[in-house]
Amino acid sequence: MVKAGIIGSTGYAGSELVRLLMGHKDVEIVWYGSRSYIDKKYAEVYRNMFEIVDAVCMDDNMEELADQVDVIFTATPQGLCASLVNEEILSKVKIIDLSADFRLKDVKVYEEWYKLEHKAPQYLDEAVYGLCEVNREDVKKARIVANPGCYTTCSILTTRPLVAEGLIDPNTLIIDAKSGTSGAGRGAKLPNLFCEVNENMKAYGVATHRHTPEIEEQLSYACHQPVTINFTPHLVPMNRGILVTAYASLKPGTTAEEVRAVYKKYYDHEKFVRVLDEGECPETKWVEGSNYVDVNFKIDPRTNRIIMMGALDNLVKGAAGQAVQNMNLLFGFDEDEGLRQVPMFP
Amino acid sequence: MVKAGIIGSTGYAGSELVRLLMGHKDVEIVWYGSRSYIDKKYAEVYRNMFEIVDAVCMDDNMEELADQVDVIFTATPQGLCASLVNEEILSKVKIIDLSADFRLKDVKVYEEWYKLEHKAPQYLDEAVYGLCEVNREDVKKARIVANPGCYTTCSILTTRPLVAEGLIDPNTLIIDAKSGTSGAGRGAKLPNLFCEVNENMKAYGVATHRHTPEIEEQLSYACHQPVTINFTPHLVPMNRGILVTAYASLKPGTTAEEVRAVYKKYYDHEKFVRVLDEGECPETKWVEGSNYVDVNFKIDPRTNRIIMMGALDNLVKGAAGQAVQNMNLLFGFDEDEGLRQVPMFP
Amino acid sequence: MVKAGIIGSTGYAGSELVRLLMGHKDVEIVWYGSRSYIDKKYAEVYRNMFEIVDAVCMDDNMEELADQVDVIFTATPQGLCASLVNEEILSKVKIIDLSADFRLKDVKVYEEWYKLEHKAPQYLDEAVYGLCEVNREDVKKARIVANPGCYTTCSILTTRPLVAEGLIDPNTLIIDAKSGTSGAGRGAKLPNLFCEVNENMKAYGVATHRHTPEIEEQLSYACHQPVTINFTPHLVPMNRGILVTAYASLKPGTTAEEVRAVYKKYYDHEKFVRVLDEGECPETKWVEGSNYVDVNFKIDPRTNRIIMMGALDNLVKGAAGQAVQNMNLLFGFDEDEGLRQVPMFP
Amino acid sequence: MVKAGIIGSTGYAGSELVRLLMGHKDVEIVWYGSRSYIDKKYAEVYRNMFEIVDAVCMDDNMEELADQVDVIFTATPQGLCASLVNEEILSKVKIIDLSADFRLKDVKVYEEWYKLEHKAPQYLDEAVYGLCEVNREDVKKARIVANPGCYTTCSILTTRPLVAEGLIDPNTLIIDAKSGTSGAGRGAKLPNLFCEVNENMKAYGVATHRHTPEIEEQLSYACHQPVTINFTPHLVPMNRGILVTAYASLKPGTTAEEVRAVYKKYYDHEKFVRVLDEGECPETKWVEGSNYVDVNFKIDPRTNRIIMMGALDNLVKGAAGQAVQNMNLLFGFDEDEGLRQVPMFP
């Protein structure tokens, strides 16, 4: 049994990690870290875990944790993981960081977008960007896995094949993304109150959202040139789900068959990416609670643009599920172990 | 591998059965029955099943089905199962009926509340009411299992221990139940449209709901006397979940400790019934997607009544999950096989 | 033009008062009190008021306010109004208190249920309980109007005619109430976050909710005897709306016609109480945004109980609308001035 | 009093028209047309109207109606209005058509996008496109007003000033729109069921939605050149509200101040269009139930694109409210008569 510790286990992503790992046959959670709830029973913070998790919340002591576990998940605010990690810890455990600390290779970009000093830039090169469908082999050998962002995972998996194959001009890319509210976290803030979110929609972080450089960096690797995009997130009154609608200029003359062939080339062997049948638009409900990403596209011959669409569950493939997938790669388990949930409908 | 067939696989309860059985290690679904979608791919009816279920919908031929499977689930409107079942079929397969056809022992009560002629009253005596926590041993030996209703399961598990032990007067029992909308089924009816249900609440079927006699019959077995209750269901704008708030006069002098001891006596060894800590009110979200029922109570010394509360997921413990639990009993599997989902939150 | 001041104008009830008064032809709001947002533009706290309200939030200085306005609305936490009011203030202005400070005549009951010392018990006798349909004439002459609670208004209007006419035994009364989330206020608390409330239901304050003694007191006036009831509130994932389902033993032999005649007797001349047609169950959506209360009932001959049902918008008839109705009585305006909104559907 | 008749009064737009006209001091509805509910009481179709509307539903006889009323609203499926209108009718009444029949000047474009033969192309030239903020003077003199579509109103008001002033390249325009579900109408269709829409999001009509040519035509008038755009609608789990996020290349060197000045130039004198303060993103909740449209923008200097945003209530400014606004122009009433509702929050 692999022993796992979670720092930040009482946020929504942390608790989803608990839910998934409870169903993983080769892993045991031995440390439920939560700075806010130290000494409180985990099942009192998340009543769904009553009679399932018997543990008490622990503090964020990564040093001590490194002695007790094989893998540490950090589901914490930006900056914490970078501030705790060191060589001794890395010599003992694998780290899967669900925050943004190790996602961007360029420390300046990180500090500019996150308004934070990076406390461990020496590990930026080594850390592997844990988008399994892209970096599978590198993940297997990593010490630090930078688990991708929720919007990022959806945006990249939806658009990357066409960027990589040169079928779209990456600098015309506009990504309009919509998210359920669990992405905003469990903090008690007025804008996240039920009555403020319910029956309401809005854009936020327009032209300034932190997932923008992450998408750009990954797409630039795919096409070997700098990429600058527009990315606009929106808040929608539902718990889970991200929907991405992406627009780009299509290489003149490209047919739907060619586009479909490219998607198939990249994803036919990928269990968790489903290329939908022609004419089907992804719906977040069809992937809820599962690690799937559904993608599809439509060409608009009037404007010669292509509209690419993708849907995932932000807490699963957009966070905890992808973290488990990365863990499976790190420890040589079946990649879908603990991730075979059928999407829940309705 | 046990082979299973589902008649009515494209309703919400049927599709939940598919979701759960896909995760059951000892069962294989070989027949996806759906009168409305014959010859259509199942995954076109439920897109969440894309690349998971490859089958095509079949008709309702129970005779042919009996030759191919070990167990038939009927998730169909009232009357269908009773009209199809016969001795030859029962000699070949087990039947778990999710409709009401075999829940009530008295054919007159059935015909009065359901306004239907019963087509197979000869099997009413033999059929076992499949509330596992009550009839576990009988279920194991049954040919026909009458899977309980959603409201009924929640109402009975919430109140039965106190009825059985004589701590409440069963004829003072008033059950006020609230349900998410999936209980109304997938029929395209105006009152179930999003805009009619969302931001709305109402009672319905007041004093006439068909689950009333089912609750009464089961409680009367528990206390060996006729029971007549008030039962009022309500529709609430959410997909899944039933919450029961039940009121009854408490036997004078009964303490909270005594009540708790009774609940513990009945449920301490039951995996799927969780008696919450003192002061905690059940919330439907804490059981969503799982087979759990959460129960608790509060005594009001001012009126000497007790308020009993219970919550479950109407599609799981209230329908498909309970059906799987019954199947596990029928075939000697672990009772929780395929039912180990941790409740999904948020 | 009557000049109005609102203390607590940035809570949900306060902002609803602003919405309604903006459409009242004889009233002008001249003071937007809000301890939390002093000096901030009101329209920055409630963006719906952009280009509609130009004012800046003021503090809670009731003395100064009394010099500037004709009527003060206090939409504040319990205790504040009682701590500010005095004889000089009352000599200058009318006060409509939306908190519970002057609803209960017995100071001991107040202090026991609210766990607060009452700072102005000398006005309890004088204050008029502002349920217009019951105390219309007294309201007209009052200096302090105690605006009823949301659950209370719905509970009393739904059950009082039958209590008053002796058709039900008031001590068998069980009120099961369900509310949208705006009743919980705009405080940034974890249990009120979107993801905690959405797709969830629960009871709360079981056997201890503060609206219980208020309902009991008013019903006891109606039947001239002490009344003790069960009252259980529930939280439902919607913004607005309260639904009350009330159960009581019916006087033997009472017919539906007699019951209907009693409701008609009390409400036929009441604009804001609609007795629905036979068989229709009240739905909160049918009154949303308006000052209506819809009521109806069903007799269950099996148990000889009656099920009474009522629905209102908790922010309108349950709070701000009723406050405006009281103001109209105080100042001799048409009782429905500013309250002619047609319910908004969907 | 102007007498009004509504054909199609039992759809969501029709019923919203009833709600608004009930509060209009100069209009009386004398004909509630509804092919589906002839002879049924209107208040039985919409229970919110109980004791407010006493009328019975009538058929669609436009000839007879023309003799009885001053203005006819057609809130009906495409094709109906065009099939009924004729010279005699137009000689007697004004027609405000909420369908698409008279929105597009080019009959070929209509027939291509709507897959319908146009039955009254002779009136296309004469009909005035009833976007009051654009065609105010022409509306006043019209016989047929083509009331704009919901998405269209939001898209045009959000983007038109910048198109008209040449600040954006109209052929780079990409409009990503999100709508609540009332836009889908009250038809009993499976995809509109609560459980299918709730907790779900999807794009639909990608590259083929019928509002596309309507937006293009109107924007082309503004910039005196053909415009071809991308338009993608999405379905979001809420009742009311449209949010538009529009992207376009900004004329090089244009500053935020210049853009703001243009918006102010077009909208400073428009009551119903609110240009939000810098940095504020429109939210649908801030306009709910009202005739307002909130707009704003953000420039992204990294891509030199501008992101324009707009929000409205699809049933008010997107349908019935705009129809009333047009009626007010036609009959010389104050343009905001009957439309002074403050947005309802929460």
A181 contacts chain C (CB < 8 A): yes
B54 contacts chain A (CB < 8 A): no
Strand pairing report for D128-129 and D144-146: parallel
Q: Do C62 and C120 belong to one domain? A: yes
Q: Do A158 and A122 belong to one domain? A: no
The three-state secondary structure class of B307 is strand
- pLDDT > 90: percent of chain D: 100
Q: Do B159 and B241 belong to one domain? A: yes
Which pLDDT value is given to residue C294? 98
Kindly state the average pLDDT of the residues C284-296. 98
Which pLDDT value is given to residue C235? 98
The 10 Å Cβ neighbour count of residue C317 is: 27
Report whether C102 contacts C144 (CB < 8 A): yes
Which pLDDT value is given to residue C114? 97
Q: Do D109 and D157 belong to one domain? A: no
Q: Do A121 and A157 belong to one domain? A: no
Cross-chain Cβ contact A341/B294 below 8 Å: no
Which pLDDT value is given to residue D91? 98
Asked if the structure places residue A340 within a domain, the reply is no
Report whether C318 contacts C284 (CB < 8 A): no
Kindly state the average pLDDT of the residues C278-283. 98
Asked if the structure places residue C131 within a domain, the reply is no
Which pLDDT band holds residue D7 (cuts at 50, 70, 90)? very high
Residue in the block written with tokens 């090169």: A125
Residue A199 sits in which domain range?
151-314
Average pLDDT of chain D, as a whole number: 98
B87 contacts chain A (CB < 8 A): no
Q: Min CA distance, A200 vs chain D (Å)?
A: 5
Whether omega before B343 lies within 30 degrees of 0, making that bond cis, reads: no
Q: What is the DSSP string of A175-227?
A: EEEEE-GGGG-S---GGGBHHHHTT--EE-STTT-THHHHHHHHHHHHHTS--
Cross-chain Cβ contact A203/D288 below 8 Å: no
CB < 8 Å from B in window 133-172 of C: 171
Burial pattern D210-229, b for ≥16 Cβ within 10 A else e, equals: bbbbbbbbbbebbbeeebbb
Q: Do C70 and C177 belong to one domain? A: no
C239 contacts chain A (CB < 8 A): yes
A250: left (phi over 0), alpha (psi -120 to 50) or beta: beta
D53 contacts chain A (CB < 8 A): no
Beta-carbon contacts of residue D266 (< 8 Å; ≥ 6 apart): D133, D160, D161, D164, D273
A13 phi and psi angles, rounded to 5 deg: -70, -40
Which pLDDT value is given to residue B119? 97
D104 contacts chain C (CB < 8 A): no
Q: Min CA distance, B190 vs chain D (Å)?
A: 5
Q: In angstroms, rounded to a whole number, what is the distance separating the alpha carbons of residues D140 and D94?
A: 11
The three-state secondary structure class of C290 is coil
CATH of the domain at C172: 3.30.360.10
Which pLDDT band holds residue B16 (cuts at 50, 70, 90)? very high
Dihedral sign for Cα atoms in the order A221, A223, A228, A233 = negative
pLDDT digits (tens, 9 = 90+) for D210-221: 999 999 999 999
CATH of the domain at B98: 3.40.50.720
D283 phi and psi angles, rounded to 5 deg: -125, 135
Strand pairing report for B174-179 and B242-249: antiparallel
Q: Which of D82, D110, D126 is the last residue of a domain?
A: D126
Q: Do B198 and B106 belong to one domain? A: no
Q: In angstroms, rounded to a whole number, what is the distance separating the alpha carbons of residues D342 and D287?
A: 8
pLDDT digits (tens, 9 = 90+) for B319-342: 999 999 999 999 999 999 999 999
Tokens of residue B223, six digits: 């206390």
Which pLDDT value is given to residue B291? 98
Q: Min CA distance, B202 vs chain C (Å)?
A: 5
Report whether C149 contacts C131 (CB < 8 A): no
Asked if the structure places residue C325 within a domain, the reply is no
Strand intervals (E) in B116-180: 128-129, 144-146, 174-179
pLDDT digits (tens, 9 = 90+) for D60-98: 899 999 999 999 999 999 999 999 999 999 999 999 999
- Chain A residues inside the 8 Å CB shell of C196: 194
C150 is catalytic: yes
- Chain A residues inside the 8 Å CB shell of B199: 199
Tokens of residue B42, six digits: 């199942």
- Chain D residues inside the 8 Å CB shell of C345: 15, 19, 46, 48
Which pLDDT band holds residue B52 (cuts at 50, 70, 90)? very high
- Chain C residues inside the 8 Å CB shell of B302: 207, 228
Q: Which of D179, D193, D204 to mutate to test the interface with B (most CBs of B within 10 A)?
A: D193
The 10 Å Cβ neighbour count of residue A144 is: 24
Which pLDDT value is given to residue A187? 96
* Residue in C196, C198, C183, C303 with CA at minimum distance from that of residue C243: C183
The three-state secondary structure class of D226 is coil
Kindly state the average pLDDT of the residues D1-6. 97
Identify the H or E element spanning D34: none
Q: Do B118 and B156 belong to one domain? A: no
D269 contacts chain A (CB < 8 A): no
Beta-carbon contacts of residue A102 (< 8 Å; ≥ 6 apart): A81, A82, A123, A124, A127, A144, A146
Which pLDDT band holds residue C172 (cuts at 50, 70, 90)? very high
How many structural domains are present in chain C?
Answer: 2
Q: Do D173 and D299 belong to one domain? A: yes
A45 phi and psi angles, rounded to 5 deg: -85, -40
Nearest to D197 among B182, B189, B194 (CB): B194
pLDDT digits (tens, 9 = 90+) for D256-280: 999 999 999 999 999 999 999 999 9
Residue in the block written with tokens 């031995």: A30
Which pLDDT value is given to residue B115? 96
Burial of C257 from C-beta contacts in 10 A (0-12 / 13-18 / 19+):
exposed
* Residue in B341, B343, B310, B346 with CA at minimum distance from that of residue B152: B310
Nearest to D201 among A206, A283, A298 (CB): A283
pLDDT digits (tens, 9 = 90+) for B205-244: 999 999 999 999 999 999 999 999 999 999 999 999 999 9
Q: Min CA distance, C189 vs chain A (Å)?
A: 5
C291 contacts chain D (CB < 8 A): no
- Chain B residues inside the 8 Å CB shell of D314: none
Report whether D320 contacts D301 (CB < 8 A): no
Asked if the structure places residue A80 within a domain, the reply is yes
Dihedral sign for Cα atoms in the order B212, B218, B221, B222 = negative
> Which amino acid does the sequence have at C111?
E
Q: In angstroms, rounded to a whole number, what is the distance separating the alpha carbons of residues D20 and D4?
A: 12
Q: Do D120 and D206 belong to one domain? A: no
Cross-chain Cβ contact B47/A342 below 8 Å: no
Q: Do A218 and A308 belong to one domain? A: yes
Asked if the structure places residue D79 within a domain, the reply is yes
Cα of B248 vs its chain's centroid, Å: 23
Q: Which of C126, C161, C191 is the last residue of a domain?
A: C126
Q: In angstroms, rounded to a whole number, what is the distance separating the alpha carbons of residues B27 and B325?
A: 13
Asked if the structure places residue C137 within a domain, the reply is no
pLDDT digits (tens, 9 = 90+) for D136-155: 999 999 999 999 999 999 99
Q: Measured over all CA atoms, what is the biggest interatomic distance in chain C, rounded to whole angstroms?
A: 63
Q: Min CA distance, B297 vs chain A (Å)?
A: 16
Q: Give the chains touching A; criterion: ≥3 Cβ pairs < 8 Å.
A: B, C, D
Asked if the structure places residue D144 within a domain, the reply is no
Asked if the structure places residue D345 within a domain, the reply is no
C340 contacts chain D (CB < 8 A): yes
Which pLDDT band holds residue B159 (cuts at 50, 70, 90)? very high
- Chain D residues inside the 8 Å CB shell of B181: 194-195, 198
Report whether A102 contacts A144 (CB < 8 A): yes
> Which amino acid does the sequence have at D317?
K
Q: What is the DSSP string of C238-285?
A: SSS-EEEEEEEEBPTT--HHHHHHHHHHHHTT-TTEEEPPTTPPPBGG
pLDDT in tens, chain A (346 residues): 999 999 999 999 999 999 999 999 999 999 999 999 999 999 999 999 999 999 999 998 999 999 999 999 999 999 999 999 999 999 999 999 999 999 999 999 999 999 999 999 999 999 999 999 999 999 999 999 999 999 999 999 999 999 999 999 999 999 999 999 999 999 999 999 999 999 999 999 999 999 999 999 999 999 999 999 999 999 999 999 999 999 999 999 999 999 999 999 999 999 999 999 999 999 999 999 999 999 999 999 999 999 999 999 999 999 999 999 999 999 999 999 999 999 999 9
Report whether D158 contacts D131 (CB < 8 A): no
Q: Measured over all CA atoms, what is the biggest interatomic distance in chain D, rounded to whole angstroms?
A: 63
Which pLDDT band holds residue B261 (cuts at 50, 70, 90)? very high
The three-state secondary structure class of C83 is helix
B285 contacts chain A (CB < 8 A): yes
Dihedral sign for Cα atoms in the order D89, D93, D94, D96 = negative
Cα of D296 vs its chain's centroid, Å: 19
Q: What residue in A sits closest to B19 (Cα-Cα)?
A: A342
Cross-chain Cβ contact D345/C280 below 8 Å: no
Q: Min CA distance, A345 vs chain C (Å)?
A: 13
> Which amino acid does the sequence have at D125?
D
C36 contacts chain A (CB < 8 A): no
Nearest to B309 among C178, C203, C309 (CB): C203
Cross-chain Cβ contact D286/C50 below 8 Å: yes
Which pLDDT value is given to residue A21? 98
Cross-chain Cβ contact B192/D193 below 8 Å: yes
Q: Do C212 and C306 belong to one domain? A: yes
pLDDT digits (tens, 9 = 90+) for C129-150: 999 999 999 999 999 999 999 9
